[in-house]
Amino acid sequence: MHSEGGGKQEAAAEVSVAPIVGAGRSERGVVVVLRDVTELRGMARAVSYQASHDALTGLSNRAAFEGRLQQLLEELRESPRQHALCFLDLDQFKLVNAACGHQAGDALLQQVARLLQRHVRETDCAARLGADEFGILLMDCDLASAHFRFHWESHTFKVSASIGLVPLDADSTPAALAAAESSCLIAKEQGRGRVHVASPRDERLAVRHGEARWTQ
């Protein structure tokens, strides 16, 4: 379909066909009805996008991220590969909100989202999991530390991120996300701006899991 400006514009249509039956039940022709459903399809896509994406950053939301993780774990049982799950928490994010207000905090989160989108590949998945928490699924690779500077009006903040990194393989379980979050907390306790890689023999991670279960 062509628009008035000469460019091409896609349109969606539903087609229904009914026969015209004459005497003796012979077909005399057909009636074809076209219904323009372009707007309805667009509304459906918008609703689907809103249900799976974070409104502020445009990244996937937590529900979509957990769904993708579950799908990936199922795929790993059929085709063993090596991926990585990353839980990222901005260090001292509350200081930005306190010093410059929530508008500055929102701008920081949007800048972090753009940074993640630039550095992850199309096969990867980046999501906003909480207020200042992000998740990344990295296919066939691991993750290094992220560090950048954020500028807001006359202020310059050196913002670092604490990262929990969990290798994903055929033996991984849905508890991998909780392990990544616990690893992120350990990284914070170690001094922030660090990456803590989870391992089966990690005593600190086992303690963290015990604390989490007790709290729940």
132 catalytically annotated: yes
Annotated catalytic residue within 54, 132, 140, 171: 132
Token pair, residue 80, equals: 């063993």
Dihedrals phi, psi of 168, to nearest 5 degrees: -110, 130
N- to C-terminal Cα separation, the chain: 56
Dihedrals phi, psi of 53, to nearest 5 degrees: -130, 150
Q: Please state whether beta strands 133-138 and 83-90 pair in parallel, antiparallel, or not at all (unpaired).
A: antiparallel
Asked if residue 196 lies in contact with residue 183, where contact means CB atoms within 8 angstroms, the answer is yes
Catalytic positions: 132
